[in-house]
Structure 1
Amino acid sequence: MRGDGIGRFLAIGAGQLVSVAGTGITGFVLGVWVFQVTGSATRFGLIMLLEAVAAIAVAPLAGMAADRVDRRAILLVSDVVAAAATAVLLTLVRQGELDVWHVYPIAAITAMCATFRVVAFTTVLPLLVPERHLGRANGLAQAQPAVQIAAPLAAGGLLAVVHLSGVVLIDLCTYAVALAITLLVGLPEKAVVPSRAGAPGEGALAELTGGLRELRRRPGLPHLLLLLGAFHLAAGMAGVLVQPLILTFTDPSTLGVLMFAGGAGMIAGSAVMTAWGGPDRRITGVRAFLAIAGIALALHSLAPSALLIGVLAPAFLFTLPIITGSAMSLLQTKVDPSALGRAMASARIAAQGGTAIGFAAAGPLADLVFGPMLQPDGALADTVGAVIGVGDGRGIALIFAGTGAALVALAAWATASPALRAVDDLPDLLTTDKREADARPTPG
């Protein structure tokens, strides 16, 4: 293995990637199970809502920990606790006692662990990778959510062979792989031991809000967080409703193929971002690909067609690594390294907050508002229904049209906002003397 920071980043990232793949397979199988048992988009969306709320609740603590505690320890403990929750799930499945309500607390616990892991990982990343490669590294990091989206195709085949208990057991084994890699890979001391580790405490409230205070000192960064929150709101609504939309006109096996196609699009976007690194002015990448994402999302509403979704879902998800990678690179270079963990936690709160609102609104809007309006005798049947059709799933399709239009409007705002246009011109704070790590890695 290479001895430089990039090699270590690749090794740690690979371990987390294996774990994310296992979790994605289990999450897909459980999600389909809940929807088939309940028949409710609201109950299905509640899983994702609880995950988002749990992530928001612990994000300030995760940021404070990343600026105060050994980050390798955060990665290890997060995986251990998530593995324990998965072991409980495996026990329930094997004993035949799994109920719908069991899924919710287990999902919340694993989401909390993921928040600690992501905040620690994104804080370590810019301290390992040379700044000229930061955009590429952030693009490569987006392979993790891409694999989680692509996992359903593997889930369908595994479910037929090893059944639900076997799928959960595989997920549990992936945590062991991630833990082994994190333990064995030597990381530079200054990447994993925060500069504030021995600093006097500021008080609990000041510690928790330190990331927001740091961001407010940098004009344009609060606008960037608002942009990320709004983007994740729209993407969250689409994410929670795409599976119910597809299941209204096809079966779970086709759903798995389409989810894999979407994940492949995101993997392609991650590969492009990794090779390219994004535009020199990173905010340009954010706003340009926001517009492309909005158009692709809106076109999902045209017809209940597996072929249509198979083309548009990968196109939409292709944009996500470029949007997120560009935004993360901006935050990582424009924030003081001593507050980087808390700033990354603030970004996580903005993203998960938008996602939580999207998740909370999506199910009720689909089940109670737009779904009935686009039934054959509904209020919109003769107007909007004449364009996108009526019947099951057409209310969800209308939500896709609305969220797509919102993303295009968001891109227009990012183009018009002076603060966002100038955010690339802020001085870089991740200077060589602050980010150069010890040549001696910490013990593995």
Structure 2
Amino acid sequence: MNTETPQNMRRFLVLWAGQTISILGSGLTSFALGVWIYARTGAATPFALTVLFGTLPRILLAPIGGSLADRKNRKAIMLLADTANALVTLAAALVALSGKLAVWNIYLLAALGSVFAAFQEPAFGASVVMLVPKKDLGRASGLRNLSEALGSLVTPMLAALLYGLIGLGGVMLIDFITYFFALGTLLATRVPQPELTTPTGGSSRQQWLSDAVFGWRYLRQRPGLFGLLWYFALVNFLMNFAAVLTSPLVLSRNSTSALGAVQMASGAGMLLGSLLMSTWGGPKKQIYSTIGFIALGAVGLALIGVHSSAWVIGAGFFIILFAIPLSSGSTQVIFAAKVQPDVQGRVIAIRSMIAQSMMPIAFLLAGPLADNVFEPLMREGGALYNSWVAALIGNGAGRGMGLIFVLAGLILLIVTLFAWGNPHIRHVEEELPDAVADAPEPQPVPAD
């Protein structure tokens, strides 16, 4: 075991570079799969189900992943998870190249990727505090979001081009190759492991259950952190309820190229927000940007639904994806600073479970409600076709999904006001002491 205090970000940057290249490859596959699914179904429900299968296993397995991240070698866990993901991607590419790919295969691919993420994400997240000095936690959070931003910015147009040239199977093969960069940098980097300070007795099942209970109690005893998680559960529900409809919303009245442009606008917003977070590190009181930027994101969410133009939709996503890295980065800093290093895995697991607990409900509801309720309301003959709502946001194809975005944004603003009114959330940084020590200051070398 190693309890060393991190001195600089060098090792983190090496890991980050490899993960970023892998994320770019995964972004190519994600975009290509969206185009492939819509071309075959033309409905919103398959998109929602794909996201559901890509999320639910990660939520359910989070306690096991968090327990292993604290009790076992975090580097080994990341290596195994990344390797398994690469092999599944290769298998899916071969099926796609054979011409036998079916929609249910995509659901299976998403589910398996979610299983591996349940182990990889807690291990990587818990390792950050061991790799990065406390003063640079905000920068590290910004860089992690920057990886996603680069994926959103670079991959859409490239994926659209590659999809036309080499098809879905070829795109997946490129994704498979990018995994070797993540694996190579991970093999080349030493990841310190903190000393475990909690009991380890009992069977594996008893261990996972006791660790899950430990993580729950740890957060429950800290009302500010606990309240933040339930706030983010609602944020994730509202954001994902609408966002899962992005591709069908855009494609209902625009071209595939327009979808790529919208995703690039999203990536540009996330890139700018991530760059700002990685250089700035957030305000002295991180809770200000945690709550404030979610409010800004809510405005962007509502904007997406007011018009079918790809320009307006892109502007809304730019605002949302600019705000999210700043809010989530500040949240990560709060949790990294307030939670002891040796329990980070278990706390991250319960944190993920709570924050994402309502997302599967959003995925299950979004597609059917869009296809069977909101879209019929806004089409010719629907109850809202000639209403004041239609005068504001338009009617016809895609406008029912637009109404979902507007309502989600308005409700999110209200939820955010209630969160800010909670004194435990608002004063979380004053109520809880820091659990991570500052790196020691370098000592001057005495002159001869």
State the TM-score, normalizing by the size of structure 1. 0.93
SS of match in other structure, 2:54: helix
Task: Tell me if structure 1 keeps the 8 A contact 2:304–2:314.
Answer: no
User: Match of 1:427?
Assistant: 432
Is 1:91 matched with 2:94? yes
User: Match of 1:415?
Assistant: 420
User: Match of 1:439?
Assistant: none
- 284, 291, 294: which one pairs with 2:288? 284
SS of match in other structure, 2:361: helix
Deviation at 1:194, TM superposition (A): 5.0
- The number of residue pairs the alignment matches comes to 430
Is 1:166 matched with 2:170? yes
User: Match of 1:44?
Assistant: 47
Q: Deviations over 1:198-253 (max 9, x none)?
A: 84356442122221111112121110100111111111122211111100111112
Is 1:259 matched with 2:293? no
SS of match in other structure, 1:432: coil
User: Match of 1:440?
Assistant: none
SS of match in other structure, 1:220: helix
User: Match of 2:118?
Assistant: 115
Taking the aligned partners of 2:140 and 2:33, their CA distance within structure 1 comes to: 31
User: Match of 2:316?
Assistant: 312
Task: Tell me if structure 2 keeps the 8 A contact 1:240–1:359.
Answer: yes
Deviation at 1:197, TM superposition (A): 8.9
Structure 2 counterparts to residues 125-136 of structure 1, below 5 A? 125-136=128-139
Select between 372-381 and 264-273 the one with higher mean Cα deviation: 372-381
Is 1:182 matched with 2:186? yes
- The one-letter code matched in structure 2 to 1:101 is W
Taking the aligned partners of 2:7 and 2:170, their CA distance within structure 1 comes to: 38
- The one-letter code matched in structure 2 to 1:370 is F
Taking the aligned partners of 1:353 and 1:14, their CA distance within structure 2 comes to: 30
- The one-letter code matched in structure 2 to 1:404 is G
Task: Tell me if structure 2 keeps the 8 A contact 1:236–1:354.
Answer: no
Deviation at 1:121, TM superposition (A): 1.3
Taking the aligned partners of 2:435 and 2:35, their CA distance within structure 1 comes to: 44
Task: Tell me if structure 1 keeps the 8 A contact 2:64–2:208.
Answer: no
SS of match in other structure, 1:384: helix
Select between 253-262 and 197-206 the one with higher mean Cα deviation: 197-206
- The one-letter code matched in structure 1 to 2:412 is L
Taking the aligned partners of 1:290 and 1:228, their CA distance within structure 2 comes to: 10
Is 1:385 matched with 2:386? no
Taking the aligned partners of 1:71 and 1:199, their CA distance within structure 2 comes to: 16
Name the Cα RMSD after superposition.
Answer: 1.8
SS of match in other structure, 1:98: coil
Taking the aligned partners of 2:111 and 2:143, their CA distance within structure 1 comes to: 26
Select between 114-123 and 84-93 the one with higher mean Cα deviation: 114-123
- 327, 334, 341: which one pairs with 1:323? 327
- 19, 36, 39: which one pairs with 1:33? 36
The percentage of aligned residue pairs carrying the same residue is 37
Taking the aligned partners of 2:180 and 2:71, their CA distance within structure 1 comes to: 26
User: Match of 2:196?
Assistant: 195
Taking the aligned partners of 1:171 and 1:225, their CA distance within structure 2 comes to: 33
Taking the aligned partners of 1:163 and 1:412, their CA distance within structure 2 comes to: 46
Q: Deviations over 1:255-307 (max 9, x none)?
A: 11211111121111111111111111111111111111111111112211011
Deviation at 1:180, TM superposition (A): 0.8
User: Match of 1:69?
Assistant: 72
- The one-letter code matched in structure 2 to 1:430 is A
Q: Deviations over 1:339-395 (max 9, x none)?
A: 211111122212332322222221111111111111122112223112111111001
Taking the aligned partners of 2:233 and 2:159, their CA distance within structure 1 comes to: 30
Task: Tell me if structure 2 keeps the 8 A contact 1:66–1:194.
Answer: no
State the TM-score, normalizing by the size of structure 2. 0.92
- 98, 101, 104: which one pairs with 2:104? 101
Is 1:345 matched with 2:349? yes
Deviation at 1:313, TM superposition (A): 1.2
Task: Tell me if structure 2 keeps the 8 A contact 1:52–1:353.
Answer: no
- The one-letter code matched in structure 1 to 2:418 is W
Taking the aligned partners of 1:25 and 1:354, their CA distance within structure 2 comes to: 27
Taking the aligned partners of 2:63 and 2:208, their CA distance within structure 1 comes to: 10
Taking the aligned partners of 2:7 and 2:339, their CA distance within structure 1 comes to: 24
User: Match of 2:408?
Assistant: 403
Taking the aligned partners of 1:68 and 1:256, their CA distance within structure 2 comes to: 42
Taking the aligned partners of 2:220 and 2:237, their CA distance within structure 1 comes to: 22
User: Match of 2:233?
Assistant: 229
Taking the aligned partners of 1:37 and 1:161, their CA distance within structure 2 comes to: 19
SS of match in other structure, 2:71: coil
Taking the aligned partners of 2:312 and 2:343, their CA distance within structure 1 comes to: 44
Select between 424-433 and 325-334 the one with higher mean Cα deviation: 424-433
User: Match of 1:15?
Assistant: 18
SS of match in other structure, 1:40: coil
Q: Which runs of 5+ in 2 are unaligned?
A: 1-5, 441-448
- The one-letter code matched in structure 1 to 2:374 is F
Select between 207-216 and 139-148 the one with higher mean Cα deviation: 139-148
